Every structure is written in structure tokens, then in C-alpha cells.
Amino acid sequence: MTLAERLDEAERTRTAIPQVVSQSGADADEAYRIQEALVARRVGRGERLVGLKLGLTSRAKMAQVGVDQVIWGRLTDAMRVEDGGTVDAGRYIHPRVEPEVAFRLDANGAATAVAPALELIDSRYADFKFALPDVIADNTSAAGFVIGAWQPLPAGLDNLGVLLEVDGRVAQIGSTAAILGDPRRALAAAATLASSAGVRLEDGWVLLAGAATAAVPLAPGAHVRAVVEGLGTASLRAL
Ligand code: OOG
């Protein structure tokens, strides 16, 4: 089996695997090619690319996973959960949720709207432990995302309060300033990363700018809500 196949199998069978990509000696560039092959398998099964995500754009996230470099991954339509919708926590290995800001892009990578968002991440590696090439190849732990109501771009996005609530209690507190200093920096970063990988942005694609706080485990039965000051909320319930 190729490394992309191993990661794909791990996801489909909900079985964590060892850090096979860093163990193989692959560097970050090779890891992105593995990610591309992994997502191509999903597309081959009928999924459609709907956007990109940045990861590890905040210190809180870098510290949580011990990798200190911004990374990016691909989003497909199968990962989308409607706002207020439900997910089966049992479909994942060890799911976590984190509050984010999402942009809607045009084909040039400019933002046409912004929304509060929740990302569901699920590392395919045992104990949620990985080195940089592992997490890149694993499509940066992408598993699902919820987009709240799209808003016109406000004058500033750089210092809005962010909460992650679980069952009505505050589990994480942060600020959009934690995301690259200003989440709008995610736009240029995504355009650069995508063009260096030969990815053509499409009108209407979503860009997840990265989490503003550390992630929290998603337990069955939990109701999780991201609140971004001035933008609104995005929520899901886990079965
Ligand atoms: C890597 C993905 C991180 C973010 O928003 O920082 C990420 C991980 O924590 O497993 O999506």
C-alpha cells in the first residue's frame, strides 16, 4: 500500500496508524504530494473540492501539537456539516473541534464574504501525535467543517473575541488576532501556497483561516458552538 492508501484506509476504518510518513523520511514537499494523492482518492469516489484550510496559524495550535509551521489542506463537500447540524462522533478516531474564521473566495483568492466557523479535526495518527510531514500528508487532520451565516467583510477582522462553547459552557477563549495576527493574512498565504502547489482556486471556494484557540475533544452528545464577535455563531451537535 502507498502512504496515501494507508492514510485513506485509516480514515475509512477509523483505525489510527503510526507516523508512517515521517518514518519513511519524506519531507514536507513529498508530504504535500501524498496529501494530493490522498484527496484524489476521495475525489475518485465522487467527492468534490470546495476549498482549502490553513492549519497551525496560531500559537495555541502550534503549542498543542508541537509543530510550528503553517500548513494547508484541502476541503471536500463530504466534509461540510450544515450549521446546527449533527455529526456521528463514532465516525472518527479521536475528533476535536476548534473555532475558526472562514472566507468565501473568488477565483483570484480575494474574499467575497466572511463567516464564523467550526472545524472538526481528526488525526489519523495514534494519540493525535505527528511530525510536520505526517500532518501534511494526513490532509492537515481535516475531517469536517461548519460555516455560520456569511457576512459582508467588516472594516476590521483583527481583534474580534472568539469563544468555543461546549454544552453552553465556555471551553476556550481567544481572539481573531491569534490567527496570523489578522485572519485576512490567510488570504495571501492561501493564494501563495495554492499557486506553489498548482492548485487553481475556484469562485465560491471556502478558506478556513485556522483555529483561534487550541482544539477540544468532541464527545458524543456534545453541543459545540463557535462565537466570533460581530460575525455570529456556527454550531454542531455530536451523536
Ligand atoms: C493540525 C491541524 C490544525 C488548525 O486550525 O490549526 C488546524 C492538527 O491540529 O491536528 O486545523
Q: How far is the CA of 1 from the centre of ligand 1 (A)?
A: 26
CA distance 150 to 147: 8
The string of pLDDT tens digits covering residues 169-184 is: 999 999 999 999 999 9
pLDDT at res. 161: 98
Q: Which three cell numbers stand for residue 45?
A: 469516489
Q: Does 10 have pLDDT greater than 90? A: yes
Rg (CA), the chain: 16
Average pLDDT over residues 35-48: 98
CATH topology (fold) of 3-238:
Fumarylacetoacetate hydrolase; domain 2 (3.90.850)
Provide DSSP, 10-46: HHHHT--B--HHHHTT--HHHHHHHHHHHHHHHHHTT
pLDDT at res. 224: 98
Helices (H) and strands (E) in the chain, counts: 6, 13
The residue type of 6 is R
The dihedral region occupied by 179, where left means phi > 0, alpha psi between -120 and 50, and beta the remainder, is beta
Ligand 1 probe mutation, 53, 61, 67, 134, most atoms within 8 A of CB: 61
| Chain centre to alpha carbon of residue 186 | 13
Q: Does 194 have pLDDT greater than 90? A: no
Q: Ligand 1: residues within 6 Å at CB?
A: 55-57, 61, 65, 98, 119, 121, 123, 135, 140-141, 210-211
The dihedral region occupied by 181, where left means phi > 0, alpha psi between -120 and 50, and beta the remainder, is left
Atom of ligand 1 nearest to the CA of 98: 5
Q: Provide the residue count of the chain.
A: 239
Instruction: Map out the domains of the chain as residue ranges.
Output: 3-238
Q: Is 74 helix (H, G, I), strand (E, B) or coil?
A: strand
Q: Which three cell numbers stand for residue 62?
A: 502550534
Angle (nearest 5°) at CA 132 between 131 and 133: 100
The string of pLDDT tens digits covering residues 136-162 is: 999 999 999 999 999 999 999 999 999
Ligand 1 probe mutation, 141, 164, 172, most atoms within 8 A of CB: 141
CA distance 100 to 23: 31
Quick check: 10 and 17 in contact, CB under 8 A? Answer: yes
| Confidence band of 134 (pLDDT split at 50, 70, 90) | very high
Other C-beta atoms lying within 10 Å of the C-beta of residue 109: 19
Instruction: State ipTM.
Output: 0.96
Q: How far is the CA of 20 from the centre of ligand 1 (A)?
A: 19
